[in-house]
Amino acid sequence: MRGESSRMEAVLGGMRGRVPELSRLALVPLVLLAVVVCAGLGLLGFRLIAASGAFDVERIEVQGAGGAEARVRDAVQASVGGTSLLQTDPAALAAALATLPQVRSASVDRAFPQTVRVTIVPERAVAIAPNGSERVVLAASGRVLGPVTPGTLGLPLIAAAPGDLPAVGGSVQSAAVLQELRVAAAPRRGLRFTAIGFTADGLTGRTAQGLDIRLGDDEDLAAKLRVARSVLRRAGAGADYIDVSVPGAPVLRQSAGDPLTVDAPPPVAPALPTGADGDTGGNWSSGASPAESIRTLFG
């Protein structure tokens, strides 16, 4: 009897040890059910609040869009007008606005209870390009902004083949056209280019006075333009071109003989030491006449 009593106590003791474990397992479905119910109630509450009209978009604020403000406002209105601010996705709306040709980037904020705030970084129009029988405006980024408007008539004309220009909203991929655009977009105080293109002498900008600024390429562009301005200030009238393709050795070509040098003999290029690689290290414009060499004029 005593043996059977001991076995019974052992069985009962094992069951007592398992009861808490079984109770915890029984709670798992209850917890999951509670989570589902709470989520459902939350979603239902969200939908009820959204449908109440308390957060309907009634105000659109646009900053920085400039001339594109009307298009931006219309795009926002078409996307979220009349819907709840709670249902507005700022990132998705900003991405949609960035597809507008005049918009470089956009950011969107929700200002509760009923306002959408949009901040635009606009594209900057810098040049005009021929496109068949028409002309289109190009941004500094290479994006095609659309037809010429009264406000863009003073922009320089750049050279481009029809195949270089995508549809409105697309971006130019041609390396040559992008170089021209970099010139058009660069600060050019005192150098107002009316046309920019490539000649036998490389990348060239023509000023309103008919003077060619030969740049060669768009490397060291800021230095080249700075030197061209300096030379132009000293050269006065009657210049045909200024070559700054090597900014350390600018060359000026004048259409008439310079009174300072017209009777002077042609300069003789000085003998320069030759390095191991054959490079003289000099910047003399060999063979230039007195009226062509900026070194003759300014030492």
Cβ atoms of 126 and 155 closer than 8 Å: yes
Given a contact cutoff of 8 angstroms between Cβ atoms, the answer to whether 137 and 111 are in contact is no
Asked whether residue 58 carries a pLDDT value surpassing 50, the answer given is: yes
* Secondary structure of residue 32 in the 3-state scheme: helix
Helix ranges, the chain (H): 2-51, 69-80, 90-97, 175-185, 221-235, 294-298
**Above 50 in pLDDT, residue 273?**
no
**pLDDT tens, residue by residue, 172-201:** 999 999 999 999 999 878 889 999 999 999
Q: Pick the residue with more confidence: 153 or 281?
A: 153
Domains of the chain from N-terminus onward: 59-122 (3.10.20.310), 124-185 (no CATH), 186-299 (3.40.50)
What pLDDT score does 263 carry?
57
71 or 9, higher pLDDT: 71
Q: Which residue has the higher pLDDT, 162 or 120?
A: 120
What pairs with residue 193 in β-bridges?
207
Count, in order, helices (H) and strands (E) of the chain: 6, 12
pLDDT digits (tens, 9 = 90+) for 87-116: 899 999 999 999 999 999 999 999 988 899
For 39-72, the DSSP string reads HHHHHHHHHHHHHTTTTB--EEEEES-GGGHHHH
pLDDT score at 29: 59
8-state DSSP, 99: T
Q: pTM for the full model?
A: 0.67
Q: Cβ–Cβ contacts within 10 Å for residue 158, how many?
A: 26
* Residue 297 predicted with pLDDT over 90: no
**Tens of pLDDT, residues 201-259:** 999 999 988 899 999 999 999 999 999 999 988 876 778 899 999 999 999 987 765 55
Q: Which long-range contacts (CB under 8 A, 24 or more apart) does 170-175 make?
A: 170/143, 170/144, 171/141, 171/142, 171/143, 171/144, 172/138, 172/142, 172/143, 172/144, 173/142
Query: From residue 177, how far is each of 109, 172, 189, 196 by CA, in Å?
Result: 37, 7, 22, 10
pLDDT band of residue 18 (cuts 50, 70, 90) is low
Taking alpha carbons only, the member of 257, 247, 229 closest to residue 283 is 247
